[in-house]
Amino acid sequence: MTLSKTDISHLEPILDELDNPIEFSSEYARRVQELLPNLPESVIIQWFYDHYHCIEQHAWLDYPSLRFKLATVDADFLNLPCLSEHETVVQYRDHFLQGTDSPRMTRLASYIEKSGTWPVPPIIIDNTGDAIVSPWGLRYSAPYDLLEGHHRMAVLYGLGKHKHKNHQVWLLQRPSAPITLERK
């Protein structure tokens, strides 16, 4: 079941005049789960609530068909080039290592130093078939692509904590990714 434009607009949080959400994240997650019961609360909050401007952009993934699995991954998984060399993660990691003054990254670093892992598992698309291509031609990395959690990954890598213990991630799986033929 593909969502209509109206359904997609109902996925957006209720905002004030400054575009700040005015409903509590847990209330928002319950409301969204009425339309998308397949999405875990943690995923709804970090993906839709915290980044509501991306809801329509990713709607082509067909939200009702998505499956999420909370998985524990090790250093071998996190060292895959599709994650460790992700362009945005590398940019944020380098910024962090150069002595960032970002309050967000400082909070993340403090949390990761204390706990050894991130506060919320990032969302990673399982693209083991290398078949996920957006409607505008963006080919997702294989076998995995980071959808949400770029700052968390960057700080984890910057602190070297990806090498020392297992970490949890949300693996997003699609029942069937459309096959896009490349033009020659």
Domain ranges across the chain? 5-65, 70-173
Q: d(Cα 111, Cα 165) in Å, to the nearest integer?
A: 15
Cα dist from 16 to 21, 26, 131, 182, whole Å: 6, 17, 39, 44
Predicted local distance difference test score (pLDDT) of residue 1: 61
**pTM given for the model:** 0.89
Q: CB 148: neighbour CB atoms within 10 A? A: 23
Q: Which parts of the chain have pLDDT scores under 50? A: 177-184
Residues 140 and 180 sit within 8 Å (Cβ to Cβ): no
Predicted local distance difference test score (pLDDT) of residue 180: 37
Predicted local distance difference test score (pLDDT) of residue 166: 94
Q: d(Cα 168, Cα 79) in Å, to the nearest integer?
A: 14
Residues 73 and 122 sit within 8 Å (Cβ to Cβ): no
Predicted local distance difference test score (pLDDT) of residue 176: 63
CA nearest to 168, candidates 74, 41, 42: 74
Predicted local distance difference test score (pLDDT) of residue 118: 95
CA nearest to 50, candidates 42, 58, 38, 61: 42
Residues 158 and 93 sit within 8 Å (Cβ to Cβ): yes
Predicted local distance difference test score (pLDDT) of residue 178: 43
CA nearest to 146, candidates 74, 72, 90: 90
Q: CB 15: neighbour CB atoms within 10 A? A: 12
Predicted local distance difference test score (pLDDT) of residue 184: 33
Predicted local distance difference test score (pLDDT) of residue 147: 95
Q: d(Cα 39, Cα 62) in Å, to the nearest integer?
A: 12
Q: Please, what is the average pLDDT of the chain?
A: 90
